[in-house]
Chains A and B, each alone.
Chain A
């Protein structure tokens, strides 16, 4: 089943058409990248897909269900997780706690009757049960916590010795790139059906970007479906199955990476000619 299907998505801000009739699909196990010049609507498109913003019109289908206008928490619970362009970590929580929060959608024992969460009054039964469980802290919850902590450790290990030694530091003390890694770990923790990444390697140097590329390739090999926005063209080329190019809110090109890369319109609007050396 198609993981994500977007048709005719539109959103404008005060007359500016940020996303203007965008359609695409993401199939299971695929990595689809969106590239485009600054301000072309990439982040806005991700915000629309992940429920952070509501579209003016158009439809988003996630795993066969129409999820247009769903709230982000509901989408996250349904298996769509994401990172943010500038990074949104929980600054006063430790790195490990940040990742632990990413596991919220998988909570079972600590969150009884979670099916009722979307039912108006009944959801209080679930909330109160969650409170009761938090107070009593039964063995099942403790087991679940231990289990989740193990998962957190695995996620942190993914980044070698970048995060693991800092697991107990408050996230706001991290350097920029390490905050990004924390966020990726948080998004991956719940084993999402679709991972949405907005410029995951911003602020990393080419060597470090290569490191993240390896990690993403590993994920891809393990069958993770990914929707990616990125400006690092080499990474996009190596990772993506398909590339979508946005300009001024509309798709100007789409297809396999090599084809997109040589498309004259893409070169014109996005890639530019290779810089002439301006050595002084």
Chain B
């Protein structure tokens, strides 16, 4: 059974339609990449999956269960986690409290999880008492990622997880995503601007254009697709 299914989902902002009958699936243990130019509706898709926006029509299923109209909290309890666009850390809470808040839906194993996040991001361990709002942009990005991991999710939705990261950290974050996927079977749906890097760790990809899904397929086929190369690799 698929972890996540979107079945011809349409989303509107007032009168304007932002998504046109989007259908996509994420299977267990998969890394799926959502590509698309600016304003193509990537973040809108992510917000719809998380339940921050309710679609006007279509259906969303998590592990086979319909969640089209459930609150975000209900979806998170089903094993979904999110790294939001522009990070959205809790600015006045300490780094550690941010991480613990990420573990809201679970009761056990929190300390161990915390230790493993600190191990992946030593910078966060150094700054565990610092209010998150005063972290640099990249540090906040790491925190947002670590916070999402705290709930031990089965599927993690990331909206531009490497935005604002220095090249060296981009490498690390992508490696980490690949490692989590390999070792824990974590499924990932990610929006990423750096399509070439993202596809290099992904299994499959979808391409959005002005709210329409225009293309999908296995990652290698997308990498080799000349149309994609010109549109998103800038080469």
Closest chain B residue, CB of each to CB of A231: B166
> Do B231 and A272 touch across chains, with their CB atoms under 8 A apart?
no
Interface size on B, residues (CB 8 A): 48
Q: How many A-B residue pairs have CB under 8 A?
A: 121
Q: Taking each of A85, A199, A279, which has the highest tally of chain B beta carbons within 10 Å of its own beta carbon?
A: A279
> Do B169 and A206 touch across chains, with their CB atoms under 8 A apart?
no
* Interface residue? B232 (CB, 8 A): yes
Contacts of A279 in B (CB 8 A): 200-201
* Interface residue? B73 (CB, 8 A): no
Closest chain A residue, CB of each to CB of B164: A202
> Do B166 and A270 touch across chains, with their CB atoms under 8 A apart?
yes
* Interface residue? A133 (CB, 8 A): no
Task: Give the contact stretch, choosing among A34-42, A63-71, A75-83.
Answer: A34-42
Q: Which of B85, B139, B160, B233 makes the CB contact (< 8 A) with A38?
A: B139
> Do B201 and A206 touch across chains, with their CB atoms under 8 A apart?
no
Contacts of A222 in B (CB 8 A): none
State whether A175 and B39 are in contact (beta carbons under 8 Å apart), knowing that A206-B235, A207-B231, A272-B168 are contacts in the complex.
Answer: yes
**Interface of A, helix, strand, loop or mixed by DSSP:** loop
* Interface residue? A155 (CB, 8 A): no
- Bound form: Cα–Cα A38–B38 in Å: 24
- Bound form: Cα–Cα A278–B233 in Å: 19
State whether A206 and B193 are in contact (beta carbons under 8 Å apart), knowing that A43-B137, A278-B178 are contacts in the complex.
Answer: yes
> Do A176 and B201 touch across chains, with their CB atoms under 8 A apart?
no
Contacts of B195 in A (CB 8 A): 205-206
Size category of the binding interface on chain A: 35 or more
Closest chain A residue, CB of each to CB of B87: A86
CB distance from A51 to the nearest CB of B (A): 19
Contacts of B166 in A (CB 8 A): 35-38, 231, 270
* Interface residue? A174 (CB, 8 A): yes
CB distance from A236 to the nearest CB of B (A): 11
* Interface residue? A258 (CB, 8 A): no
> Do B31 and A280 touch across chains, with their CB atoms under 8 A apart?
yes
**For chain A residues 207-229, which have a beta carbon within 8 Å of chain B?**
207-210
* Interface residue? B182 (CB, 8 A): yes
CB distance from A234 to the nearest CB of B (A): 9
* Interface residue? B78 (CB, 8 A): no
- Bound form: Cα–Cα A38–B143 in Å: 12
- Bound form: Cα–Cα A170–B11 in Å: 19
Q: Which of A86, A204, A233, A277 makes the CB contact (< 8 A) with B137?
A: A86
* Interface residue? B128 (CB, 8 A): no
Closest chain A residue, CB of each to CB of B134: A13
- Bound form: Cα–Cα A85–B138 in Å: 11
State whether A205 and B178 are in contact (beta carbons under 8 Å apart), knowing that A36-B166, A37-B166, A199-B137 are contacts in the complex.
Answer: no
Contacts of B93 in A (CB 8 A): none
New contact pairs (6) apart from A42-B136, A275-B174, CB-CB < 8 Å: A38-B123, A38-B138, A85-B137, A202-B164, A205-B195, A231-B164
A-B contact pairs, 15 of them (CB 8 A): A38-B123, A38-B138, A39-B135, A175-B39, A176-B85, A199-B164, A202-B137, A204-B193, A205-B37, A205-B193, A206-B195, A231-B164, A270-B166, A275-B171, A280-B31
